Structure 1
Amino acid sequence: MSQPLPFVIDPAGADRHAEYRALRALGPATPVDVLGLRAWAVSDPALLKSLLMSPDVSKNGRAHYPAFARTIRTWPLALWIEVQSMLTAYGADHRRLRRMVAPALSARRVAELKPTIRSLVTELIDDLATVPPGHVVDLRERLAYPLPIAVIGHLMGVPEEQRDDFRQIVDNVFDSTLTPEQAQANAARLFEVTDQLIAIKRGDPGDDMTSLLIAARDEESGGDGFTDVELRDTMILMINAGYETTVNVIDQAVFAMLTSPEQLDLVRTGRAAWEDVVEETLRAEPAIKYLPLRFAVTDLELPDGQIIAAGDPILAAYGAANRDPDWHGPDADTFDVTRKVKDHLAFGHGVHFCLGAPLARLEVAEALRQLFERFPAMSLAAPAATLRPMPTLISNGHQELPVRLRPLA
């Protein structure tokens, strides 16, 4: 890219809302610096949806990013373009991989998980009920984290003793403040523990997603199945996407309800449903602010006359697009569970739309329903402005979510 770089994406995500506004003010697409890598950030929802649907935009850096080999050695977020799974596949390869993964997240399998999710939430809420009145508890640590870990662990068949390992490693995958060396070491550890899980499940398969994917790998013939690397990286995608993103949606939804009592009252009086809260959270505070990366397959002329040259990286600015006033009106920055149109890009768009969206929605709605029913007097235990964002340009959550579940009698 020869264009100037008027904007540097903050790797620590210190003020996402100001960043969204600044990006939109610079136009539908603007050159940015992402940890030293030059890319086009696309914040206009119409343009972004168009590019996400276009066959002239690819997620396969190996095929369509001339600087791929150099980038994966030096860029802290290299894992996001290095893995070989649905996340980075293009064209026929993407269709092949998605076809093999889709049965594991079918409507039937998600429906079968409902009693399990309800039971897991109840268990976590029962544990929270042991906290004495007036005491402060970190709800991110005690609910937002353990629920998705338990659900994805159950779905993937991850043994209990491996779940803490996966949590720390996945957290680091989303941390954009790591050095390239730290990120490479973390990726190596992620590959190692995933290979260990594959070996365990290949020797002792069960009724879980990992066993299903291994069976798809071992039973397919004629070049239509997974390669060993694709199997491993598909599992990494499922664990990463099924865990970290749901943590953030629970976190942001609880925060929104506790800082907007009039919105909570709408739910309690039946004028809105918890599903409305989930959708408005996904719109106003999507779990993924920016998703790296896509690449122009050919020169792309934008409506304003700019050219995204073939091979240029593209950064999907989901957080900025979701709050665009041209899409959601002048109150786009306002959290409103009664908003008639809650359309958003939190789960992506087009062929890469997240297969796990129904599962995430189910988890978050059940967690909110039981939490606020059990603790109707719950309150935030620190000023909202003092809560620290996660140190990342990708994830959208708080480092802690301190609450008082019940007031001191």
Structure 2
Amino acid sequence: MNTSSVPPHRLNPAGGSPHADNARLLAHGPVAPVVLPGEVEGVAVLGHEALKDFLSRADVAKDARHFAALRDGRIAAGWPLRTFATVRGMTTADGADHRRLRSLVSKAFTARRVELLRPRVEAMTADLLDGLERAAGGGVVDLVRHFALPLPIGVIGELLGIDAEYRDTLHRLSDRLVATDVGPEEVMAANREMVALLSAVAAGRAERPGDDLTSALIAARDEDGDRLSQEELIGTLLLMVVAGHETTLGLIANAVRALCAHRDQLALLTNGEAGWPDAVEETLRWDAPVSLFPFRYPVRDLTVDGAVIPQGTPVLAGYSAAGRDPAVHGPDADRFDVTRPRRPGAARHLSLGYGAHFCLGAPLARMEATIALARLFTRFPDLDVPETRLPYRSSFVGNSVRALPVRL
């Protein structure tokens, strides 16, 4: 595979901080051969400009029928990344199918519709901060469990019309689907349970429609089966649940860690020299909550920045590496600086995607994270992270921690 002069990088299924590996690989070039679990050969596009080019190419597909190893039967049913490739939804659709599926949910994520959610997000944030203080009791409390997780899972749950009783289970299953270190039986069991749960949610909304996105999707399915099949309905709900809270959870947790480790940057925010949206954008660049997102497939042999990627190769988008690419973000790309987005000529990060598949939920994620950080540090200005060695999520796709002990 003519993608790099270095040997293929074997991705660690257990996850961990990606930045040291990213820097080492970027030093050899913006495109790197990788080995995925199950000895599946792939490629990661890591450089900012190379990734921007790759994500905008018309000769790159998302549909798994272009995934050569999968199409040829060389990947087992319990492969931990199979759901990313085969779920039926907008992230695995191309062309007209992608536009059709995206149009069904895009109206829920316009800037105007997201702004209408602001009072509810602010109210949920206030309630969770009360609960965080109670749980701390003057000691150390897990910010993920009591704040960074329940806020986005609560918001996406209300948006989709999913009852609160299901949300803990949905996160547990989502965590298993995003993990890259799980065995075949656990992968297939989590998939079955998730499909069954979302089917029950959809059946409940069909019986009792409401002013929520699930009810709107069901109405589209029932009105015209050509617009949305049952499999696409469940796949869309799955993607919305996973993407709708996992990314924001990671964004909030990563931002809190960064700000507590860089008190000078936190001071710029609390004294008004920088805005909380700046902290959100710098966190997205500096410590992207999605590190290596699967998959895209060249529909013919493709050259990216001088590297040839063979047709049918599974390619991962290296968002965390691109965010610290010194070729674009400068020699201080490793430095966390909340004033960076306002610098003249500062490059925009790619951490929420680029092109036709740009994250639909970006306005909502940004709003949730901005409100969460502003309210959290306004109420608890001395909040600190006493531990330096934190447990990472078991995934090289996601980039965040499982728990974040803080002292308020």
How does the TM-score come out when normalised to structure 1?
0.94
Q: 1:292 to 1:72 in 2, by over 3 A?
A: farther
Q: Could you report, residue by residue, the CA deviation over 1:152-190 in whole angstroms, capped at 9, with x for unpaired residues?
A: 111011111111110100111111110122111111111
CA contact (8 A) 2:386 2:406 kept: yes
Q: For 2:385 and 2:305, locate their aligned partners in 1 and report how far apart those are by CA, in whole Å.
A: 45
Instruction: For 2:50, give the aligned amino acid.
Output: L
> Match of 1:174?
178
Q: Compute the displacement of 1:266 (Å).
A: 0.4
Verify: 1:388 aligned to 2:391, yes or no. Answer: yes
Q: Compute the displacement of 1:343 (Å).
A: 1.4
Q: For 1:160 and 1:133, locate their aligned partners in 2 and report how far apart those are by CA, in whole Å.
A: 25
> Match of 1:374?
379
> Match of 1:364?
369
> Match of 1:28?
30
Q: For 2:365 and 2:96, locate their aligned partners in 1 and report how far apart those are by CA, in whole Å.
A: 27
Higher mean alpha-carbon deviation, 131-140 vs 348-357, is at 131-140
Q: For 2:381 and 2:190, locate their aligned partners in 1 and report how far apart those are by CA, in whole Å.
A: 41
CA contact (8 A) 2:290 2:320 kept: yes
Alignment of 1:261-272 (within 5 A): 261-272=263-274
Instruction: For 2:134, give the aligned amino acid.
Output: T
> Match of 1:48?
51
> Match of 1:333?
334
Q: 1:97 to 1:72 in 2, by over 3 A?
A: farther
Q: For 1:212 and 1:333, locate their aligned partners in 2 and report how far apart those are by CA, in whole Å.
A: 44
CA contact (8 A) 2:69 2:75 kept: no
Verify: 1:139 aligned to 2:143, yes or no. Answer: yes
Q: Compute the displacement of 1:220 (Å).
A: 2.9
Among residues 288, 292, 295, which one is paired with 1:293 in the alignment?
295
Report the aligned-residue RMSD.
Answer: 1.6
Q: For 2:371 and 2:328, locate their aligned partners in 1 and report how far apart those are by CA, in whole Å.
A: 29
Q: For 1:147 and 1:195, locate their aligned partners in 2 and report how far apart those are by CA, in whole Å.
A: 24
Q: For 2:90 and 2:21, locate their aligned partners in 1 and report how far apart those are by CA, in whole Å.
A: 29
Q: Compute the displacement of 1:363 (Å).
A: 0.4
Instruction: For 1:257, give the aligned amino acid.
Output: L
CA contact (8 A) 1:133 1:404 kept: no
Q: For 1:134 and 1:27, locate their aligned partners in 2 and report how far apart those are by CA, in whole Å.
A: 49
> Match of 1:320?
321
Verify: 1:350 aligned to 2:352, yes or no. Answer: no
> Match of 1:12?
14
Q: Compute the displacement of 1:66 (Å).
A: 5.0
CA contact (8 A) 1:253 1:278 kept: yes
Q: Compute the displacement of 1:403 (Å).
A: 1.0
Question: SS of 2:42's equivalent?
Answer: strand
Q: 1:132 to 1:169 in 2, by over 3 A?
A: closer
Alignment of 1:158-169 (within 5 A): 158-169=162-173
Q: 1:46 to 1:342 in 2, by over 3 A?
A: closer
Q: Compute the displacement of 1:76 (Å).
A: 1.3
> Match of 2:94?
90
Q: Which runs of 5+ in 2 are unaligned?
A: none
Q: 1:132 to 1:165 in 2, by over 3 A?
A: closer
Q: 1:2 to 1:29 in 2, by over 3 A?
A: closer
> Match of 1:121?
125
Q: Could you report, residue by residue, the CA deviation over 1:271-291 in whole angstroms, capped at 9, with x for unpaired residues?
A: 101100000000111110001
> Match of 2:61?
58
Q: Compute the displacement of 1:74 (Å).
A: 4.5
Among residues 396, 400, 404, which one is paired with 2:403 in the alignment?
400
> Match of 1:187?
191
Instruction: For 1:310, give the aligned amino acid.
Output: Q
Among residues 242, 245, 266, which one is paired with 1:243 in the alignment?
245
Question: SS of 1:359's equivalent?
Answer: helix
Q: Could you report, residue by residue, the CA deviation over 1:212-235 in whole angstroms, capped at 9, with x for unpaired residues?
A: 1111222236x3x01111111011
Question: SS of 1:390's equivalent?
Answer: coil
Instruction: For 2:375, give the aligned amino acid.
Output: Q
> Match of 1:200?
204
Instruction: For 2:224, give the aligned amino acid.
Output: E
Q: 1:376 to 1:257 in 2, by over 3 A?
A: same
Q: 1:171 to 1:64 in 2, by over 3 A?
A: closer
Among residues 156, 159, 171, which one is paired with 1:155 in the alignment?
159
Paired-residue identity, %: 42
Q: For 2:68 and 2:267, locate their aligned partners in 1 and report how far apart those are by CA, in whole Å.
A: 50
Q: Could you report, residue by residue, the CA deviation over 1:41-87 in whole angstroms, capped at 9, with x for unpaired residues?
A: 11111111111111101111124535334425242110000101001
CA contact (8 A) 2:282 2:338 kept: yes
Instruction: For 1:39, give the aligned amino acid.
Output: G
Question: SS of 1:87's equivalent?
Answer: helix
Q: For 2:85 and 2:192, locate their aligned partners in 1 and report how far apart those are by CA, in whole Å.
A: 15
Q: Which runs of 5+ in 1 are unaligned?
A: none
Instruction: For 1:368, give the aligned amino acid.
Output: L
Q: Compute the displacement of 1:322 (Å).
A: 1.0
Instruction: For 1:357, give the aligned amino acid.
Output: A
CA contact (8 A) 1:290 1:394 kept: yes
Q: Could you report, residue by residue, the CA deviation over 1:74-119 in whole angstroms, capped at 9, with x for unpaired residues?
A: 4211000010100100111111111122112222221111100000
